[in-house]
């Protein structure tokens, strides 16, 4: 809620806020993907990547769950600045190169990863009409692909030519520029905010469980998130180890996947807006990601370079393209004065999937293969899709 002066002030423009919050997600994505993209050159093992990811999500879960109150008090753009500062510290730690430093980097990055989506949802929901919400939120979620594509194309080349330390330095420099942007825009969108009363643990959980449609979204998001983080962090390793790709070729394939995700986030958001059927769009996406993961995991080496690039793009279209529709649907169903808190509570389930996936894949990689691990994820994605099919129906919002 805003004060009475909001009635006489012109509404703040949408595009600068949308650009800023998209940039924030791009920074978080770039930092999150950096160790996985440079892993072959930096000699980072799968279990170390899993440890880094688990550390990010272990901190990101409580940061997301409890971040709504801080967002209401400090404002979304100040939270964005703090997230960017956490990225700078995280990349400085990762550049040290040791396992302990990588663990500390993941813990620090979790402080940025958790609050950024609830902060964006809280800000953008005040600036966009209900009819445009799915598309605008999908545009915002393209930050993940922007960061991933840049990282997939640029960071391997930097790692090969200059070394992994310079990759982390480049990400940190981008985050410093982000702080300047967020602080410059902050006065425009700060206003005078009256924070709603603070919610306890039980009340926050009730935001998810009181509406079956929101609860099912939270359930389905767990395997979807697991699939997405596995694509982002382990695809380069899968490509070099089991698909017959060089490091640069695997980076290009991952870039194709992230480009597919960029198209997917915009395309799926547009389709959901036109059809007013966000849940059915999510069902189609779930089926698509399960197919791609199973195909690459079971027989990816036989596809040839063109086939691998095509499936990688389709994989990204689905596994990295669902988030905008998902967050917009949360914002539609949530109590309008509790969008930040509801988004954070639902994302807690999503981040649980992110937390579990690296450990699961590391175990399956040791006992079978990385391809078998991706096939297992395909089965879990089908379970999440089934929950969406049987868990409720779209309603006009």
For residues 329 and 346, give the distance between their C-alpha atoms in angstroms, rounded to a whole number.
11
Indicate the pLDDT class of residue 395, thresholds 50, 70 and 90.
very low
Domain residue extents for the chain: 13-191+207-390
Helix (H, G, I), strand (E, B), or coil: what is residue 193? strand
Q: What is the pLDDT of residues 97-152, one digit of tens each?
A: 888 999 999 999 999 998 898 888 888 888 887 778 778 888 888 887 788 778 87
For 139, phi then psi, to 5°, come to: -60, -45
Q: What is the pLDDT of residues 281-307, one digit of tens each?
A: 999 999 999 999 999 988 888 888 899
- Whether the model pTM is above 0.95: no
Q: In terms of CATH, what superfamily is 13-191+207-390?
A: MFS general substrate transporter like domains (1.20.1250.20)
In this predicted structure, the answer to whether residue 192 has a pLDDT above a threshold of 70 is: no
Beta bridge partners of 193: 2
Residue 4 confidence (pLDDT): 43
Taken in order 313, 359, 158, 114, the sign of the CA dihedral is positive
Q: What is the pLDDT of residues 213-258, one digit of tens each?
A: 888 888 899 999 999 888 877 888 888 888 888 888 888 898 888 8
Residue 275 confidence (pLDDT): 83
For residues 160 and 17, give the distance between their C-alpha atoms in angstroms, rounded to a whole number.
36
Exposure b/e, 30-60, CB count within 10 A at least 16 = b:
bbbbbbbbbbbbbebebbbbbbbbbbbbbbb
Spatial neighbors of 277 by CB under 8 A, at least 6 apart, are: 394
| Interaxial angle between packed helices 14-37 and 133-161, expressed in degrees from 0 to 180 and rounded to the nearest 10 | 40
Residue 397 confidence (pLDDT): 39
Beta bridge partners of 152: none
Q: What is the pLDDT of residues 139-187, one digit of tens each?
A: 888 887 788 778 877 888 888 888 888 989 999 999 999 999 999 999 8
Summary mean pLDDT of the chain:
84
Q: Could you tell me if 325 and 308 are in contact, meaning their C-beta atoms sit under 8 angstroms apart?
A: no
């Amino acid at each position: 809620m805003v004060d009475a002066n909001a009635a006489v002030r012109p509404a703040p423009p949408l595009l600068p806020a949308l650009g800023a919050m998209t940039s924030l997600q791009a920074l978080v994505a770039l930092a999150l993907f950096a160790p996985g993209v440079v892993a072959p050159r930096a000699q980072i093992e799968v279990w170390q990547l899993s440890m880094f990811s688990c550390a990010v999500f272990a901190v990101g879960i409580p940061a997301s769950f409890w971040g709504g109150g801080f967002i209401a008090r400090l404002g979304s753009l100040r939270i964005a600045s703090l997230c960017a500062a956490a990225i700078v510290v995280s990349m400085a730690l990762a550049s040290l190169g040791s396992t302990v430093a990588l663990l500390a980097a993941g813990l620090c990055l979790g402080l940025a990863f958790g609050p950024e989506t609830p902060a964006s949802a809280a800000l953008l929901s005040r600036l966009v009409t209900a009819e445009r919400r799915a598309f605008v939120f999908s545009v915002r979620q393209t930050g993940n692909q922007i960061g991933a594509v840049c990282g997939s194309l640029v960071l391997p080349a930097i790692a090969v030519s200059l070394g992994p330390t310079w990759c982390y330095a480049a990400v940190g420099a981008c985050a410093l520029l982000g702080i300047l942007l967020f602080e410059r825009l902050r006065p425009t969108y700060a206003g005078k905010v009256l924070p709603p009363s603070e919610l306890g643990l039980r009340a926050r959980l009730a935001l998810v469980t009181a509406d079956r449609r929101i609860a099912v979204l939270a359930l389905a998001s767990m395997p979807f998130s697991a699939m997405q983080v596995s694509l982002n962090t382990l695809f380069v390793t899968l490509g070099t180890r089991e698909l017959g790709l060089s490091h640069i070729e695997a980076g290009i394939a991952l870039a194709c996947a992230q480009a597919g995700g960029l198209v997917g986030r915009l395309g799926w958001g547009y389709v959901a807006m036109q059809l007013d059927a966000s849940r059915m769009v999510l069902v189609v996406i779930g089926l698509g990601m399960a197919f791609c993961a199973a195909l690459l995991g079971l027989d990816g080496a036989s596809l040839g370079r063109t086939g691998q690039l095509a499936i990688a793009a389709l994989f990204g279209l689905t596994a990295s393209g669902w988030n905008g529709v998902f967050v917009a649907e949360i914002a539609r169903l949530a109590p309008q004065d509790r969008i930040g808190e509801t988004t954070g509570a639902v994302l807690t389930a999503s981040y649980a999937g992110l937390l579990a996936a690296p450990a699961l894949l590391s175990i399956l990689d040791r006992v079978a293969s990385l391809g078998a691990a991706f096939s297992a994820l395909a089965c879990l994605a089908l379970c999440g899709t089934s929950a969406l099919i049987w868990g409720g129906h779209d309603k006009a919002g």
